[in-house]
Structure 1
Amino acid sequence: MNPTLAIEPSVFYFGTPVALLSTLMPGDETANITPISSAWALDDTYVLGLSNSGRAMRNLRENGELVINLPDAALWESIERIADTTGVAEVPRHKREKYRYEPDKWTLGRFTPRPSGVVLPPRIAECPVQMEARVTNMTPLGEDGDATIVHAKVLRTHVHQALTVPGTSHIDLNAWNPVYYTFRHYFSQGERVGVSFRAEQ
Structure 2
Amino acid sequence: MNTAHVVAEPHILYLGTPVVLISTVNEDGTHNLAPNSSAFWLGWRGVLGIASASQTTQNLLRTGECVLNLPSVNEVAAVDRIARTTGTNPVPEFKQSLGYVYEPDKFGRAGMTRVASQTVSATRALECPIQLEAVVSAVHGMGEDSDQMRGFLSLIEVRIQRVHVHPDLLMEGHVNRIAPDKWSPLIMNFQKFYGLSQQVYPSRLAEIPEKAYEQLARL
Distance 1:151 1:129 in 2: 19
Is residue 170 of structure 1 aligned with residue 177 of structure 2? Answer: yes
Aligned to 1:34: 34
Are positions 1:146 and 2:147 aligned together? no
| Cross-structure match for 2:107 | 106
Q: Which residue of 2 aligns with 1:83?
A: 83
Tell me how far apart the structure 2 counterparts of residues 86 and 25 of structure 1 sit (CA, whole Å): 12
* Whole-angstrom distance in 2 between the partners of 1:147 and 1:197: 36
What is the CA–CA distance in structure 2 between the aligned matches of 1:165 and 1:22, rounded to whole Å? 27
Rounded to whole Å, the distance in 2 between the matches of 1:51 and 1:116 is: 25
Of residues 151, 155, 158, the one that matches 2:161 is 155
How far did 1:195 drift? 2.7
TM-score (norm 1): 0.96
CA distance in 1, matches of 2:173, 2:199: 24
Cα distance between partner residues in 2 of 1:82 and 1:147: 21
Q: Counterparts in 2 of 1:177-192, with a 5 A limit?
A: 177-192=184-199
The letter of the residue matching 1:130 is Q
C-alpha displacement at 1:165, in angstroms? Answer: 1.8
Structure 2, unaligned runs of 5 or more? 211-219
Runs of 4+ off more than 3 Å: none
Alignment partner, residue 20 of structure 1: 21
1:6 match: 7
2:200 aligns to what? 193
CA deviation string 1:136-187 (max 9, x = no partner): 0000111321010000000100001111124421112222111100000000
Task: After TM superposition, give the deviation of residue 44 of structure 1 in Å.
Answer: 0.9
Distance in 1 between residues matched to 2:6 and 2:181, nearest whole Å: 37
1:134 is the counterpart of 2:135 = yes
The code of the aligned residue for 1:132 comes to: E
> Aligned equivalents of 1:166 and 1:114: distance in 2?
26
Q: Distance in 1 between matches of 2:173 and 2:63?
A: 35
- Could you list the runs of 5+ residues in structure 1 that have no partner in the other structure? none
Which residue in the other structure is 2:64 paired with?
64
- In the aligned structure 1, how far is the partner of 2:137 from the partner of 2:20? 19
Amino acid at match of 1:145: G
Q: Distance in 1 between matches of 2:71 and 2:51?
A: 21
C-alpha separation in 2, matches of 1:137 and 1:153: 9
Letter in 1 for 2:162: R
CA-to-aligned-CA distance 1:1-41 (integer Å, 9 cap, x gap): 61000001011011001000001111x32210010000000
In structure 2, C-alpha distance between the alignment counterparts of 1:126 and 1:110, rounded to whole Å: 9
Q: State percent identity of aligned pairs.
A: 35
Counterpart Cα distance in 2 of 1:29 and 1:164: 34
Q: For residue 198 of structure 1, give the secondary structure of its aligned residue in structure 2.
A: helix
CA-based RMSD: 1.2
AA in 1 matched with 2:90? E
Which moves more between the two structures, 185-194 or 164-173? 164-173
SS at 2:163 equivalent: strand
